Amino acid sequence: MRDFSASSALIVEDSTVQREHVAGLLRQIGFGTVLGANDGIDALRTLERRGAPVDLVVTDLDMPGMDGEELIQQLAKRRWAANLIAASANQNRLQGVMHSLPPDGAMRMLAALSKPVRLEALQALLRDAPMLALAELEREGGGEAASAADIQAALQAGAFIPMYVPRVELETGRLTGIAVQGAWRRSGQRLTALADVLPALAGASETVGSIVLALAMQAAADFRCWKGLELPAVKLLLPLPDELLLDLGALGRLAANIQSQDIKPGNVCWQISEAVVAACEAEPLHNIGRLSLRGFGIGAVHCGRYEAATRDFACFPLSEITIDSMFVHEAAQRSHRRPLLERLLSMADTLGIPVCAEGIENVEDWSLMRELGCSTGQGPLVGAPMQAGDFAKWYREDSRRLSAAAPPAAGRG
């Protein structure tokens, strides 16, 4: 039998009894670290807190909130597990899940087991299965890791560029905002998302501030150029990474430089993460309040992974809440997602804060989010992230079709 004493596992199961049963089996087999989560969302929270992938995930398929198939997609995308075992009492779901792993994902699907999971079957599987090592998972990541020195050189070369995502009113298709996503243009014109760069800059708030400032200044310049397009009154939505919220000087420089570009604070909304809201710490809250007093909007991206409560959101001067794409994408096809969305929108309604749905990829999701009371949306159906020249083309061509569509299905399919 293999030695699993240095291996880690995560059991994802909404039944406490069955979760503890599988955890006990893995401990018998010899796993050194065994974690538990009660659904897909809790699993993502657990792995994010851990800050490192696990050797094995054993997940149920039928769970509320985020089921096993959705979790598998998220684990593969984020590279948080090297190997996976799916378990279910539903034989039809077991047969289909083996094909749910993205073809370009590094995570390895070991098996689909019928519940209840038995020790003999699990032992035999883990003895014979060709398991992927964590080190191999990292190698299959494509070699995208970069040092702080690489990032500093890219900053000096002007290689960080803004990508623009149009946001529209779900009732009319009218453009209401332009969300900015940072990207690093690397050799061969490859683009790496800013979110994938930030882990290499932990503690380097000055470099993070310089990157965000470069993105904001370019976005402000592009925003001024687009005035010739006769844009309606729209907001520029800019990322505000957690690393900057303790640096009042950096925030002041960002605000001053934006205003120096003849962009009014009321036309800018800084986007903070749900993690900041859930922590609700005094210094970030104070600094965000200073931005709000200067007239800037403050938005929070709600991804459901940090257990931020209504009272936490109420503490912040928020002008909007964005629901992360992991909840919105294919929500119309996943009935278990609706109660979760209804709770999020009910909370926002209680606070009187408008909500944007991120990740709208089909007409059904557009219609559902509109029906649930979401006021705005963005995503591939509206427009994929694009550079400045492509945005101008999108506005001249695609945005007119969106605005003319009533409902949106009439103009896009």
Asked if residue 387 is part of any domain, the answer here is yes
Are 135 and 238 found together in one domain?
no
> CB under 8 Å to 227, separation ≥6 — which residues?
none
Are 195 and 100 found together in one domain?
no
Asked if residue 338 is part of any domain, the answer here is yes
Domain count, the chain: 2
Q: Which of 121, 139, 157 is the last residue of a domain?
A: 139
- Check which CATH number belongs to the domain holding 302 and give it: 3.20.20.450
Are 310 and 335 found together in one domain?
yes
Are 117 and 185 found together in one domain?
no
Segments forming the whole domain that contains residue 127: 8-139
Are 75 and 152 found together in one domain?
no
- Check which CATH number belongs to the domain holding 107 and give it: 3.40.50.2300
Asked if residue 152 is part of any domain, the answer here is yes
Are 257 and 157 found together in one domain?
yes
pLDDT value for 198: 76
Are 176 and 214 found together in one domain?
yes
Asked if residue 259 is part of any domain, the answer here is yes
> CB under 8 Å to 328, separation ≥6 — which residues?
341, 357, 358, 359, 360, 365, 369, 377, 379
**DSSP three-state, residue 343:** helix
- CA dist., res. 399 & res. 348, Å (int): 28
- CA dist., res. 217 & res. 211, Å (int): 10
- CA dist., res. 186 & res. 199, Å (int): 17
Q: Which of 139, 161, 192 is the last residue of a domain?
A: 139
pLDDT value for 104: 57
Are 187 and 336 found together in one domain?
yes
Closest C-alpha to 140, from 185, 218, 83:
83
Residues paired with 34 in a beta bridge: 9
Are 74 and 187 found together in one domain?
no
Asked if residue 405 is part of any domain, the answer here is yes
Kindly report the backbone phi and psi dihedral angles of residue 307, in degrees, each rounded to the nearest multiple of 5, phi listed first: 60, 40
Asked if residue 380 is part of any domain, the answer here is yes
**Residue spans of the chain under pLDDT 70:** 1, 92-105, 138-146, 188-189, 203, 305-306, 399-413
H-type alpha helices, 191-318: 194-197, 205-225, 248-260, 274-279, 282-293, 310-315
Are 165 and 296 found together in one domain?
yes
pLDDT value for 413: 42
CA dihedral 242, 243, 247, 249 (to 10 degrees): -100
Q: Exposed/middle/buried for 172, CB within 10 Å: 0-12, 13-18, 19+?
A: middle
Q: Which of 71, 106, 139 is the last residue of a domain?
A: 139
Asked if residue 2 is part of any domain, the answer here is no
pLDDT value for 406: 46
Instruction: Report residue 29 as tokens.
Output: 């087999």
Asked if residue 3 is part of any domain, the answer here is no
Q: How far does CA 291 lie from the centroid of its chain? A: 24
Are 152 and 135 found together in one domain?
no
Are 127 and 170 found together in one domain?
no
